[in-house]
């Protein structure tokens, strides 16, 4: 369908849709569209096409998609002021960090800044710290990209490197997120950019969130913090940031809030993107460094050590695998097998550690990340099986070479790459995760 919009108006299009500018002049988040370049809007996203000179668009729109013409612009003037403020800073690089709640416009503001700065022909890197709604890397990672062309959606950028956290919400992995971001930031700096734009997750409310964000900001040490203040949600956090230069920016009036389901389906687009052309690879465990508590020691031959024998005797059976940590012992047993609960209590008492039993097959669907021997991120995969007998890991992934380390996450995907909601024993965690609004 073709539609013509007059100068001074904005066409708001909700995905899934695609829009091509046929004639006239229009901008999306500070990016002046080229004629005949197709802009794809994902399901759950909205894009504002601000018309500068009467424009005709060719639009194809999905069933659930929607569009609307409104007067004026939807980019708040404070976004432009933020950009101008950024240009006055004289350090190299200038690091700008963006704070805001979920769905406040963080990603869109980052997109706008990047596009504006690109007009100045500056070298720009974007570091994406929002693991639940990641724009750059796969979901459950933090990642960065160097931007050389304007973009309508940061999702179209190629990640240069990523750090796998393995969960969708930072609340359960605060240290990992911070250390991952610091590691990537150091790598970004070696590329000598003029500007580094750091996006963050939307977990900002409550004491834990405030402490976490304050630590993260200390570590990143930005030259300026842009915060999107809707109501007073950021106030406690801002009171911790007295040593930093901060600038308040507005949340657009026309923002589109997303339900938890929409956020999940946006993540699923991320899994699909990063698992394209995947197939099941059988990787010998002996080749791999495995980063996961439950699976530590997977590549040493189990059952030979005195300690292993002691545990087996206490349990009254020989499990497929035992991973002993400081406070816990993970035990993997065959499907349909059983350990006498009294034996477990006895073991826990004798060894002074909690025994956590899992069954073979429970590893199926866990999201994993693959790294090379320099710990460069190669891609994600879905763990299909740990074959304890043949000592191989079967991972569904498009990555096939140079795999030397595997990190195993806590998110589980089904065969259609949909996130499986964790129930029963973990429901407490799901509730706290939803508070942390992944
Ligand atoms: N100025 C704007 N005009 C219209 N829609 C916008 C604008 N800014 C953001 N949106 C839309 O609102 C939704 C939420 O914005 P987003 O930048 O993704 O927020 P966050 O990253 O904080 O979750 C997105 O679909 C986005 O495209
Ligand atoms: Mg975002």
List pLDDT tens digits, range 67-94.
999 999 999 999 999 999 999 999 999 9
Q: How many CB atoms lie within 10 A of CB 349?
A: 10
Residue among 108, 156, 204 to mutate when testing ligand 1 (max atoms within 8 A of CB):
108
Burial class (CB in 10 A: 0-12, 13-18, 19+), 345: exposed
Q: Which among 313, 293, 294, 291 has a CA at the least distance from the CA of 303?
A: 313
Please compute the mean of the pLDDT values over residues 17-26 and round it to a whole number: 97
Q: Which DSSP string corresponds to 217-235?
A: HHHH--SEEEEE-STTTTH
User: How much is the pLDDT for 119?
Assistant: 87
Residue 246 has pLDDT above 70, yes or no: yes
Residue with tokens 């099941």: 280
Kind of pairing, strands 328-333 and 321-324? Answer: antiparallel
Pairwise CA distance, residues 358 & 360, whole Å: 7
For the beta sheet containing 289-291, the strands, ordered from the edge strand earlier in sequence to the opposite edge, are 279-284, 392-397, 377-387, 366-371, 405-412, 289-291
Residue 333 has pLDDT above 70, yes or no: yes
Domain with CATH 2.60.120.1030 in the chain: 2-71
Pairwise CA distance, residues 100 & 200, whole Å: 8
Burial class (CB in 10 A: 0-12, 13-18, 19+), 96: buried
Residue 310 has pLDDT above 80, yes or no: yes
User: How much is the pLDDT for 3?
Assistant: 95
- Asked if residue 50 lies in contact with residue 6, where contact means CB atoms within 8 angstroms, the answer is no
User: How much is the pLDDT for 63?
Assistant: 79
Instruction: Count each helix (H run) and each strand (E run) in the chain, helices first.
Output: 9, 23
**pLDDT confidence of 422, banded at 50, 70, 90?**
low
SS3 312: helix
Pairwise CA distance, residues 266 & 133, whole Å: 8
Please compute the mean of the pLDDT values over residues 172-200 and round it to a whole number: 97
- Residue 411, CB half-sphere, CA atoms under 13 Å: how many? 31
Residue 438 has pLDDT above 70, yes or no: no
Residue with tokens 């809030």: 257
- Asked if residue 77 lies in contact with residue 25, where contact means CB atoms within 8 angstroms, the answer is no
Residue 429 has pLDDT above 70, yes or no: no
Which helix (H) or strand (E) element contains residue 214? helix 207-220
Q: Where are the beta strands (DSSP E) in 265-353?
A: 279-284, 289-291, 321-324, 328-333
Distance from residue 105's CA to the centre of ligand 1 (Å)? 4
Kind of pairing, strands 17-28 and 66-71? Answer: unpaired
**pLDDT confidence of 305, banded at 50, 70, 90?**
confident
Please compute the mean of the pLDDT values over residues 163-186 and round it to a whole number: 97
CB of 103 closer than 6 angstroms to any ligand 1 atom: yes
Domain with CATH 3.40.50.300 in the chain: 77-258
CATH number of 77-258: 3.40.50.300
Distance from residue 90's CA to the centre of ligand 2 (Å)? 28
CB of 254 closer than 6 angstroms to any ligand 1 atom: yes
Q: Which residues touch 95 (CB under 8 Å, ≥6 apart)? A: 195, 196, 198, 220, 221, 222, 223, 224
- Asked if residue 250 lies in contact with residue 228, where contact means CB atoms within 8 angstroms, the answer is yes
Pairwise CA distance, residues 44 & 138, whole Å: 17
CB of 74 closer than 6 angstroms to any ligand 1 atom: yes
Distance from residue 113's CA to the centre of ligand 2 (Å)? 14
CATH of 2-71, one of 2.60.120.1030, 3.40.50.1110, 2.40.30.130, 3.50.40.10: 2.60.120.1030
CB of 255 closer than 6 angstroms to any ligand 1 atom: yes
Return the structure tokens found at 177: 């997120």
**What percentage of the chain reaches a pLDDT higher than 70?**
95
Residue-wise pLDDT for 24-43, tens only, equals 999 999 999 999 999 999 98
Average pLDDT over the chain, rounded to an integer = 92
CB of 45 closer than 6 angstroms to any ligand 1 atom: yes
User: How much is the pLDDT for 303?
Assistant: 61
Residue 435 has pLDDT above 70, yes or no: no
User: How much is the pLDDT for 308?
Assistant: 87
Residue 421 has pLDDT above 80, yes or no: no
Q: Which ligand lies nearest to the CA atom of residue 202 in the structure?
A: 1
**pLDDT confidence of 301, banded at 50, 70, 90?**
low
The whole model's pTM is what?
A: 0.92
Residue-wise pLDDT for 340-384, tens only, equals 999 999 999 999 999 999 999 999 999 999 999 999 999 999 999
Q: Which ligand lies nearest to the CA atom of residue 101 in the structure?
A: 1
Residue among 105, 199, 200, 253 to mutate when testing ligand 1 (max atoms within 8 A of CB):
105
- DSSP-assigned beta bridge partners for residue 143: 128, 162
Residue ID of nearest Cα to ligand 1 atom 25: 45
């Amino acid at each position: 369908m073709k539609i013509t919009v007059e100068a001074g108006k904005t066409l708001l299009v909700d995905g899934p849709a695609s829009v091509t500018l046929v004639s006239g002049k229009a901008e999306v988040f500070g990016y002046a569209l080229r004629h005949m370049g197709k802009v794809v809007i994902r399901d759950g996203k909205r894009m504002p096409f601000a018309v500068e000179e009467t424009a005709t668009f060719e639009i194809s729109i999905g069933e659930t998609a929607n569009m609307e013409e409104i007067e004026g612009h939807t980019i708040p003037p404070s976004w432009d002021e933020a950009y101008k403020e950024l240009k006055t800073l004289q350090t190299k690089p200038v690091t700008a960090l963006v704070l805001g709640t979920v769905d406040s416009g963080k990603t869109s503001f980052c997109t706008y800044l990047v596009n504006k700065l690109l007009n100045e022909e500056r070298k720009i890197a974007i570091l994406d710290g929002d693991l639940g709604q990641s724009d750059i890397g796969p979901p459950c990672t933090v990642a960065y990209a160097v931007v050389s062309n304007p973009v309508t959606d940061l999702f179209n950028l190629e990640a240069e490197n990523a750090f796998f956290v393995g969960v969708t919400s930072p609340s359960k992995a605060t240290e990992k997120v911070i250390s991952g971001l610091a590691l990537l930031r150091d790598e970004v700096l070696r590329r000598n950019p003029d500007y580094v734009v750091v996006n963050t997750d939307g977990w900002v409310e409550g004491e834990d969130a405030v402490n976490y964000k304050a630590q993260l900001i200390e570590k990143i040490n930005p030259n300026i913090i842009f915060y999107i203040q809707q109501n007073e949600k950021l106030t406690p956090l801002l009171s911790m940031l007295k040593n930093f230069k901060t600038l308040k920016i507005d949340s657009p009036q026309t923002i589109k809030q997303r339900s938890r389901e929409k956020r999940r389906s946006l993540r699923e687009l991320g899994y699909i993107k990063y698992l394209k052309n995947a197939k099941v690879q059988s990787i010998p465990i002996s080749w791999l460094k495995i980063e996961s508590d439950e699976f530590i020691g997977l590549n040493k031959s189990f059952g030979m050590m005195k300690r292993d024998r002691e545990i087996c005797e206490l349990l009254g059976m020989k499990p497929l695998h035992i991973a002993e940590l400081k406070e816990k012992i993970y035990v993997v047993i065959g499907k349909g097998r059983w350990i006498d609960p009294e034996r477990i209590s006895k073991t826990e008492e004798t060894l002074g550690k909690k025994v956590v039993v899992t069954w073979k097959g429970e590893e199926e669907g866990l999201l994993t990340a693959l790294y090379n021997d320099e710990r460069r991120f190669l891609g994600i995969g879905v763990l299909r099986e740990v074959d304890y007998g043949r000592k191989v890991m079967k991972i569904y992934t498009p990555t096939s070479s140079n795999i030397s380390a595997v990190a195993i996450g806590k998110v589980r995907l089904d065969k259609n790459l949909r996130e499986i909601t964790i129930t029963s024993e973990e429901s407490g965690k799901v509730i706290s995760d939803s508070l942390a609004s992944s």
